[in-house]
Structure 1
């Protein structure tokens, strides 16, 4: 099944802008609601990001302050970044940094509580499923500070020639019970900074922070850029992250941004920081390779990034579109904009298209009463009824999907567009049931994952079994850019039944194990282990329409490679995500699940990773010794930090591995948003800009009122 129209995509595109909700909460220090416990403050918050060669390393250093006369515990929570592996956590004890070690989750919590009761220094990083990372630190002494550092690693890939990095701060509001129990302090009182170094083996055309126009952006070389933001507390001229623009000279800041001392704080941690970078056009398709192998006695780890040339043709013809829209309580305050988005989107459908609209909250409603022709006579009364609908209640996602799958015509190509945060809290909630439903359906699911703390594991898995795709969206995103990326995929052929084979090198433990589909502009990233250095043969095959495509090259796996030790953690975490997906697919098979849980735990402890079953613990050095906890992670982080310093001192270089024998035809450049076949997109997008501006204004207005 292929996607065949551009016009239908615009209905989806407009709807995408609607789901960026005003943030209910943010990253910050937690305190029970209505508690008499004194409140801690965030004195400093500093972020350093290095993006190079397909992965990003994010370092967050914070200083918490206790202004009270009693010792307190600090609890800091922030959204889980996508595919992020927490590998380092440091707590300064008596002025000296102490690096955490990974142990089983229950054991880590027990040790932390014991140290807390004894009045000794301890800190803990725990993962709350797909929602948040929670940091606990004890004690914060009266009128004193504590300093902590957290480092996480995640892949950083291109889509249609555009890279995207998100530093997540907004809370998605998906955990109602947690948000009802805790109040949050997201204000940074004194100092805030965000620094990012962007390095690539290919020339970078431009860099953009759509919601932080005050950032200083500097091009260091054709393939290196630097981004900086910094602010301090003061009466004027500081950066306040809740505003889209810097304060004007002489302008009074909003009252809610002034602290008890009458000083405007340095920042508020309630808006994501999103950075885009765009590679130059006319770059060739390529295979890039980075690796780590310490010695002949150990296996090597590699990351292979395949960026295809643009040889997928545009599609023609009408089709059926099923829009499954979340109208639960989180949609209140933006429903009027949603209706306007539907109006604009349906107006762009082709005469030979049909559409169906399904709404869901506590239950699902076939709002359009089956598929309808995309005519003015049908669309106008439906929209008039839609205006009267009142959003609210919970989220029965399964009912919404089931209703959307009813009445499909086997003789017409159909796509389902799902807009939700994926937090199924009513009806069927078992992930296995969702996967079975989508696997049996003859339909591709295209999902827009809205906000942080969304149930990405569920939504991504559903799209994978249906050979669709999922796009994450932040309130701080460049919405027009996200629309164009989605449009490019849904109006062109996809490479289906994709397989990548590596002959030689005694390569093992590849992830992902199954690829299925590559859409236009997508990169394919393969992680794995190798035991025999030297040349290996790489073959990529798939089907475009009914035509079989095959691409081939030869790359070299090095004897020794010491510059990217982080690859071991990235591979291990990707393997853990793969095992977790398997466990979800198997459902409630307790014996199989127990084996997989144990395998995840063992791998997480071996490579020092925070997961659903493991946590990172910091105690005094003598306590580590008493508990016989080996300092493996301390050694690993020292190795990683040393390698980062070496990379920083070396000139940036290309990691292209197929220069001698290109995998793709050099005349077929990489797909870009401005490339072949997408020229018409720009004209339609211009028609949407008015709606987009209204959406952004509405969201800002709602945030200020809330």
Structure 2
């Protein structure tokens, strides 16, 4: 039997008949991307996915095609294959520089080749070289992804378009890292690798999109399936179900399927195939009941009002922010910061944190109601300001930072490097509002702040999401989590972040184990402190499984943690990241899959190169609405995607099918100028040549004074010292708990500083503060003494200055 699943908002997502991403009609033919086929097999809380991209060469010369596309940010890419004619070439995972060298050599020699690279956790690039005239080449990616679960529902989210991102900073003078529309800058040194050209709305002949999800409840009671943003159909066969997209859907928004069923506490152990005494575990623990009381909170709300937030997103963001303010009580304090290129606060609220009384809450909501989208997404400054506001919170108060944004920025690494360490001192929750949200970056921010990331793809989804956020803002149910193993030994450094237990959200943690006698009879016990200060624990017996996806998903999560540590300054981790990626066969930013054919098909290599333009995301304001137009739209350029083919640009421009390139010898178009009126044939992409298509903050230069390494963290160290002095009269168990928490934050600060011997040593000792026999007076005195020295002495009691080191290797994205 076949029955329809009603979309949450049919009027907003029903496809236009002639719109989409795909073939660009010219005298010479079409753009290379012909089809995208996604097949997902969902079993419980894990999905195995195969993505097949079909490329065709409509030209009469060999072609190299480039496609910048998204994948789920938590997915582990474990397989890559190229198929052409009757030949099947399996991809090999190699260090990124070596993979590029192999690809370039094969293409120059006239052999077919393909390479897959990760630019961001959810942005990837595929290049396919030497597609001969008239030939179709298939590229297959195999991946596994976990399904987040909360409040009785799991979510399968598959992104389908890379949204334009704001690119701050001053342009760099060296060679560009990629072929995108924005130049590399000092803030985003690989901007040209994450900015594909963008098609204008209404462009005909979309890519043939096929998406199928096969759902196996795996013994769970599947009560309901809901599709968001797309029209789908369901086919039932016993307990299993298959969901398919209706034909004609476009690659312009995320695909989202929510599955309602009751999850349970479980421990899965997957032994390695080659060595059965080692393996990977995945633990899921359901949270306890929520208490009726909570601690007072200090809350800083950051609201993104930049140009990319125009239209329905700004409306939803204002509603979300107002709902957060309304949840505050008289015992709380708060601040509201709205930002684009500048940071603004409600005029009638006091400086610092204001009491959350009725009058102040009303003034904040009144300010939020007047906000409109404008400007660029300068996210770093408001994050730094928010952390300063929260730095002086009292120990008994819960410190909370809530960020409402679409996350469409390119300088993720710069932001993590500057504020990553400070995020550990507050509970950070992110609310991502978009139909093609930057989920990877928002998830990383929430993970560093031990908070939650809530994604909102429509106004209909907002109320449900805000109920979740309302609970997240409150104190967690269980903190200070630790694991105790029975029957197996946990491998040091392999266990993913434990975080805290929140209402409605199960704890999910994974890692590696060793067991001389096998994993049968193994168990894990989770221990922590409940909200009332009493010990809490849950013992979970293990079940042995052969599900290889558990190992891949753990490896991706472990690599993501290593990459985040690298981003905040721990550069020595590069080789460990490469080794881990190669050992477990999971793609990361430091490695790449490459498939090389042995057959020569194109003497001299490709004579034409095309970067596939992508759709503007659904729900984004079109050009012509300056207040809401994302700046990156004005920077999009199809000229960059046709490098090496000026004759094509010249011949096509007259027909109106391609825009952005002058005839040879003609004057260059003005970057960011007005979009030309529609021609008889639809415009293909937003105009402006790449060298002029940058976005950067006015007046920002590349030359900056180099501060002392401690300058950035000294305010936080001073705040930590104040908290300790204010807590000197508290009971011993409470003070030991405070020291243990402080140890985790000091460890993060030491990493941020690029290494600090005394902070690292103290952090290690404080991590053991709650163990029996801990020397409370000695630890307390030692901590106060070191923090005092670091906050008063610019050199800081042996502070480690980061020496200038010559760069012996190029950045991994430029090798």
Question: Could you say whether these structures have the same fold, taking a TM-score greater than 0.5 normalized by the shorter chain as the test?
Answer: yes
**Aligned-pair CA distance for 1:372:** 4.5
- 1:597 matched residue in structure 2: 574
Q: CA separation of 1:571/1:385 partners in 2, compared to 1, >3 Å: closer, same or farther?
A: closer
Alignment correspondent of 1:437: 422
Match of 1:226 in 2: 242
Give the root-mean-square deviation of aligned CA atoms: 4.0
Structure 2 runs not aligned, ≥5 long: 1-8, 14-18, 168-181, 183-191, 601-616, 626-815
Q: Residues 87 and 151 of structure 1 are in contact (CA less than 8 Å); yes or no, is this contact kept in structure 2?
A: yes
Q: Which residue of 2 aligns with 1:576?
A: 559
Relative to structure 1, the CA distance from residue 459 to residue 294 in structure 2 (aligned partners, 3 Å threshold; closer, same or farther) is: same
Contact 2:299 2:400 in 1 (8 A): yes
2:406 pairs with 1:415? no
Is contact 1:77-1:134 (8 Å) kept?
A: yes
Helix, strand or coil: the match of 2:229? Answer: coil
Q: Residue 385 of structure 2: SS of its match in structure 1?
A: helix
What do the CA deviations read for 1:349-405 (whole angstroms, capped 9, x no partner)?
556655421112223223353344556655566555555555433333232123334
For 2:137 and 2:87, locate their aligned partners in 1 and report how far apart those are by CA, in whole Å.
11
Shift of 1:510: 6.1
The partner residue of 2:451 within 468, 489, 493 is 468
Structure-1 residue corresponding to 2:339: 360
Instruction: Please say if residues 29 and 74 of structure 1, whose CA atoms lie closer than 8 Å, have aligned partners that are also in contact.
Output: no
| 2-structure distance, mates of 1:520, 1:488 | 7
> Which structure 1 segments of 5+ residues have no match?
1-16, 232-239, 242-267, 624-697
Q: TM-score, normalised by structure 2?
A: 0.61
Q: 1:86 to 1:622 in 2, by over 3 A?
A: same
Counterpart residue number, 2:283: 305
Q: 1:498 aligns with which of 460, 481, 485?
A: 481
Cα distance in 1 for partners of 2:553, 2:414 equals 30
Look up the match of 1:553.
539
Aligned-residue offset at 1:579: 1.8
Q: Would the aligned equivalents of 1:272 and 1:475 in 2 still touch at CA under 8 Å?
A: no
Show the counterpart of 1:640.
Answer: none
Contact residue 94 and residue 582 of structure 2 kept, 8 A: yes
Name the SS for the 2:551 alignment partner: helix
Q: How many Å separate the matches in 1 of 2:217 and 2:163? A: 30
The 3 A distance-change label for structure 1 pair 186 and 550 is farther
Q: Quick one: which of 518, 542, 550 aligns to 2:528?
A: 542
Higher strand share: 1
Alignment of 1:109-188 (within 5 A): 109-174=100-165, 176=167, 177=182, 178=192, 182-183=197-198, 188=206
1:207 corresponds to: 225
Instruction: Give the deviation of 1:136 after TM superposition.
Output: 0.9
Describe the SS at the equivalent of 1:121: strand
Q: Residues 51 and 619 (structure 1 numbering): CA distance in 2 closer, same or farther, change over 3 Å?
A: same
Task: After TM superposition, give the deviation of residue 414 of structure 1 in Å.
Answer: 4.6
CA drift of 1:597 comes to 0.8
Deviation at 1:205?
1.3
Report how far residue 603 of structure 1 moved. 1.9
Which of the numbers 34, 37, 47 marks the counterpart of 2:38? 47
How far does residue 573 in structure 1 lie from its aligned partner after superposition? 2.2
Aligned to 2:502: 519
1:612 aligns with 2:589: yes
SS of 2:53's partner is: strand
The answer (yes or no) to whether the contact 1:301–1:571 under 8 Å persists in 2 is: no
Aligned pair in 2 of structure 1 residues 205, 704: CA closer, same or farther (>3 Å)? farther
Tell me if 1:192 matches 2:210: yes
Question: Relative CO higher for 1 or 2, CA cutoff 8 Å, sep ≥ 6?
Answer: 1
Q: CA deviation at 1:458?
A: 5.6
Q: Give the whole-Å Cα distance in 2 for the aligned partners of 1:478 and 1:359.
A: 23
Q: Which residue of 2 aligns with 1:683?
A: none
Query: 1:241-640 counterparts in 2 under 5 A?
Result: 241=249, 268-280=250-262, 285-294=264-273, 297-308=275-286, 310-315=288-293, 319-334=297-312, 335=314, 338-339=317-318, 342=321, 346=325, 350=329, 354-368=333-347, 369-370=349-350, 371-372=353-354, 378=360, 386=368, 389=371, 391-404=373-386, 405-406=388-389, 410=394, 413-422=398-407, 429-440=414-425, 443-451=426-434, 459-474=442-457, 478-491=461-474, 493-509=476-492, 511-523=494-506, 524-532=508-516, 533=518, 534-553=520-539, 555-556=541-542, 558=544, 563-585=546-568, 587=569, 593-594=571-572, 596-620=573-597
Secondary structure of 1:406's partner?
A: helix
Aligned residues: 559
What is the CA-CA distance between 1:143 and the residue it aligns to?
Answer: 2.6
Which one has the largest radius of gyration?
A: 2
Distance 1:197 1:56 in 2: 9
Shift of 1:130: 3.1
Q: Distance in 2 between matches of 1:403 and 1:43?
A: 47
How far 1:541 moved relative to its partner?
0.7
SS at match of 2:290: coil
SS at match of 2:424: helix
Partners of 1:493 and 1:384 lie apart in 2 by: 30
Mapped partners of 2:344, 2:372: distance in 1: 13
Normalization by structure 1: what TM-score? Answer: 0.69
- Residue number in structure 1 paired with 2:693: none
Q: Residue 63 and residue 464 in structure 1: after superposition, are their counterparts in 2 closer, same or farther (change >3 A)? A: closer
* Stretch of structure 1 that moved more, 430-439 or 145-154: 430-439
Query: Structure 1 stretch 449-458 or stretch 211-220: which is displaced more?
Result: 449-458
Tell me how far 1:188 sits from its aligned partner: 4.2
